[in-house]
Amino acid sequence: MPNLRDIKNRIQAVKNTGKITKAMKMVAAAKLRKAQDAMMRVRPYSNKMRSILTGLSSGVERELHPLLAVRPRRTVEVIVMTGDKGLCGAFNANIIKEASKFVNGLTSEGFTVSLTTIGRKASDYFRRRHIKTRKSWTGLSGKIVYTNAQKVAREVIDAYAAEDIDEVFLVYNEFKSVMMQNVTKVKLLPIEPFEEDGENRAMVTGDFIFEPSEKEILNRLLPKNIEIQIYRALLESQAAEEAARMTAMENATKNTNELVEKLTLQYNKARQAAITTELMDIVGGAEAIKQ
């Protein structure tokens, strides 16, 4: 049985860990509120932008703009979006698992896969496995600004326009609730024609009068749409990461409290056993003197 000092030191160490995890939970909760507010403001704009451009692209010649061009699928770009830090449960592992499965599926079908990673966890994962990435972005977590999305979008747009890649997919964690984050795979390029039926289709399809010209409108809006979709994904991922971290730190704090209770019980038992042993020695010594 360990001595009392060792148990006491371990209790104090666990308590200190609990203080750290509790503080991290509070910090994550504060960051989550900020990230969630930004995400909720961008979501409607992002959805409407995608819907309108999908409808517009259905009524124009696809050769009118490079981002509408549909080519035979040879090289597929996969953008994997993770966090820079850990201590957020299975947040990063779930994205990497889904992205690896998707990449392996494309490779097995004979396609060439081009990887872009956003976040240190994805970058480290693929580097350790000697999988080459076309571009890696780190240091964006907690510092999501629109210019970050513009830089990523520009890299993707230039590669697609130069026909270095033929399709672009984005894999990230979509924020559903504090307890749930959903790994989502979105096709960014090429923008596909509108497929839905009914009222939604009627709102965004049909004959349009373009002012200024179709080409000028598409030149302005199509790159903007890619930027907005990436920016929305960055915000979704940031909110999902902070939610996962808050939940993980809450569970860790509960575990430290339970461990402190078990160690305290062990400490009390050890102390009681030590006192009993000392009493037995005293009683034994007293009996020996009497004899």
Quote the CA–CA distance of 210 and 212 in Å, as a whole number: 6
Which member of 28, 81, 88, 191 is catalytic? 88
In a domain? residue 170: yes
In a domain? residue 7: no
- Segment among 33-42, 47-56, 199-208 with least mean pLDDT: 199-208
pLDDT bucket at 283, cuts 50 / 70 / 90: confident
> Residue 186 sits in which domain range?
30-248
pLDDT for position 2: 64
**Do residues 146 and 227 lie in contact, with contact meaning Cβ atoms separated by under 8 Å?**
yes
88 belongs to the catalytic site:
yes
Identify the helix (H) or strand (E) that includes residue 20: helix 4-58
pLDDT bucket at 66, cuts 50 / 70 / 90: confident
CB within 8 Å of 27: residues ≥ 6 apart: none
> For residue 132, what is the domain's CATH number?
3.40.1380.10
CA 121 to chain centre: 10
Counting the structural domains of the chain, the total is 1
**Residues 150-160: what's their mean pLDDT?**
90
Q: What is the end-to-end Cα distance of the chain in Å, rounded?
A: 33
| Residue 119, both tokens | 């976040």
Q: Is the pLDDT score of 26 beyond 70?
A: yes
Q: Is the pLDDT score of 205 beyond 50?
A: no
pLDDT for position 197: 43
- In angstroms, the Cα distances linking 207 to 48, 107, 210 are 19, 41, 10
pLDDT for position 208: 63
* Strand-strand pairing, 180-189 and 135-137: unpaired
In a domain? residue 101: yes
In a domain? residue 225: yes
In a domain? residue 22: no
In a domain? residue 56: yes
**Do residues 103 and 82 lie in contact, with contact meaning Cβ atoms separated by under 8 Å?**
no
Q: Is the pLDDT score of 206 beyond 60?
A: no
Residue of higher predicted confidence among 170 and 217: 170
| Residue 237, both tokens | 């991922």
Q: Is the pLDDT score of 169 beyond 90?
A: yes
CA 184 to chain centre: 10
∠ CA 210-212-218 to the nearest 5 degrees? 75
Q: What is the pLDDT of residues 212-225, one digit of tens each?
A: 777 787 888 888 98
Threshold 0.85, pTM exceeds: no
